[in-house]
Structures are given as structure tokens and as C-alpha cells.
Structure 1
Amino acid sequence: MMTTNRATAPKTRLQTASQAVGAVFLLVGILGFIPGITSNYDSLGFAGHGSEALLLGIFQVSVLHNIVHLLFGAAGILMARTHSQARNFLLYGGIIYLVLWLYGLLIGHDTPANFVPVNSADNWLHLVLGLGMIALAVLLSRNTATRR
């Protein structure tokens, strides 16, 4: 098992997956701040269910929601430095997304409890992300072969 912090050292498939997932989250966080890619951009609020901005016209976002994506993405890239940290990012990040999925199912979308905010499309995406991240953590942690 390779667990070095050197940037030039070969990475495991798990580390590469963590880096890729982190990069996607960074991209999504940035796209959430771009008018046109985010429809109803003028209604983008800091937080709360009142933000009517929709990333790709589908996923409800706010400034807080975009910041969370940016921070989550940075965590994925930084934690890809070691095999064990990459595994933790994917595993526990996946669990967090499953909790967000349950949270989104339990709260009313038009209530103050929906402070992130989320809509039905976000809920289903959170389910897929949670299961996918956990699957990557479990399946790729078995194989510690490095990639060149």
C-alpha cells in the first residue's frame, strides 16, 4: 500500500478517484456562480429556500450551497494525497451525502429548515452521489495498486 505525501509519487486508483470527485465538486461550485449556467441567477440568495437559482436549470443552489461544493471539492483534492485519506473522503463524504438525502426527504422544501437549499432533483442527486462515493471507497480500497 502506497501512503506517501510526495506529489510525484504514483497514486492509487482510490486517490485518483478522490481527486476526480473533488475536481467535479470544485467545478460544480464554480458553475453555481456563473449566470446562464445557473438560471434565475438574480434570485441567488446567500442561504434559505427563497433562493430560486437553479444550476443547469435543475438543481436549486444558493451562495452557501456553492461554497459547500467548493469546500467539499478542495477537501477531496487535498485528501487525495494519501490512500487512507482518500478512502476517508469518499467513504465519509458518501455517508454525509446519504444523510443530506434523508434530510432533504424529511424537511419541507418551502420551510426555514431548507436552509442549504435543496429540491427534489438535489435529493436524488445526493442519493446517487452518496452511494457512488461509498462504492468507490469500498471497491477501490481493496486494490492498492498505483497508477503511473
Structure 2
Amino acid sequence: MTPNATTTAVRRTPRQLFAAVVGVVFLLVGVLGFIPGVTTNYDMLTGAGHHSGALLLGIFAVSILHNIVHLAFGVAGLAMARTPGGAKAFLVGGGVVYLVLWLYGLIIDHDSAANFVPVNTADNWLHLVLGLGMVALGLIPLNAHKAPIADSR
């Protein structure tokens, strides 16, 4: 290192790290949805709709559209994790999207054309937990544990 060289330490807030981790998990899930074996009934994977019989980990209904949504959420999470405000927006906004998706999954008939994502009961439970978790990570005060600095005068 030369004497005039400077280094800049990039400090991430805990919320930014949470958003980045969630983004990476979404990317991983999106990729895994396209891997035969990890996704059972892979030969039944369709573009969209309730006719897709593919199951990620043998549990969660997936389609090409569903996998692409996971990939897009992952990219958004990583991009938005670059700033504290973006990380919060991703976690809260994404969490709300997943809570709406949970409600949607409860309301629709899983065997109807309305189930275009597709979702099943396992997806519904996952969407509820994911939505609540993301909103909580986006809203919990992360500096509450710091004690005020005492004045030594």
C-alpha cells in the first residue's frame, strides 16, 4: 500500500445485512426451483398456473413464474440492501407483499385458474411466516440496546 493510499471501510447496518441475507435466500430458492431432484415432479413444471405439479423440496408448489418471482425478489433485496432506507423498504414492502400473497392463497380455490402463481397450503404457511418475519426485521428498532453516553463533566 502506498503512503497516500486511503481505504474506506463500508459499514452495513444490521437491517442492510438482514435484507441482503433475505435476498440471497430468495435467489437460492429461485435457482433451486429449476433443479430436478431438488424440485420433485420437475417434468410437470409449467410456466404458470395451478396445473404445475412441480414441488420445491417435495413440498412447495412452483412454476417457472414462481421461480422467476423468487429470483426477482432476490435481486431486489440485494440491490436495496445497499442503503439503510432501501433495506427497510425491501423488508417491510416485501413482507407486506408476502402477507397479501398469504391472504390470496387463503381466499382462492387452489384448483382454479385464479391460482396462477401457483400456491398450496405449505406455501400459504411459508408466506405468512415470511411476511411477518420480513416486516418485523424491517420495523424492529435496532439501536434500542445502546445505552446513552454519560457526560463525564
The RMSD of aligned alpha carbons is 1.6
Q: Match for residue 12 of structure 2? A: 11
> Could you say which residue in structure 2 is the equivalent of 1:131?
132
The two structures have a TM-score, normalised by structure 1, of 0.90
Quick check: 1:122 aligned with 2:128? no
Equivalences for residues 53-68 of structure 1 within 5 A: 53-68=54-69
Q: Within the alignment, does 1:47 sit opposite 2:48 as a pair? A: yes
Aligned residues: 138
Could you tell me which amino acid in structure 1 is paired with residue 106 of structure 2?
Answer: L
Partners of 2:129 and 2:11 lie apart in 1 by 29
Q: Which runs of 5+ in 2 are unaligned?
A: 1-7, 145-153
Cα distance in structure 1, aligned partners of 2:135 and 2:64: 27
> In the alignment, what sits opposite 2:37?
36
Greater RCO, 1 or 2 (C-alpha within 8 Å, sep 6+): 1
Partner of 2:143 in structure 1? 143
Deviations 1:95-121 (A, max 9, x none): 000000000000000000000000000
- Counterparts of 1:87 and 1:81 in 2: how far apart (Å)? 11
* Structure 1, gaps ≥5 residues long: 1-6
C-alpha separation in 1, matches of 2:108 and 2:76: 27
1:4 corresponds in structure 2 to none
Question: Normalized against structure 2, the TM-score is what?
Answer: 0.87
Paired residue type of 1:51: S
What is the distance in 2 between the residues matched to 1:25 and 1:10? 23
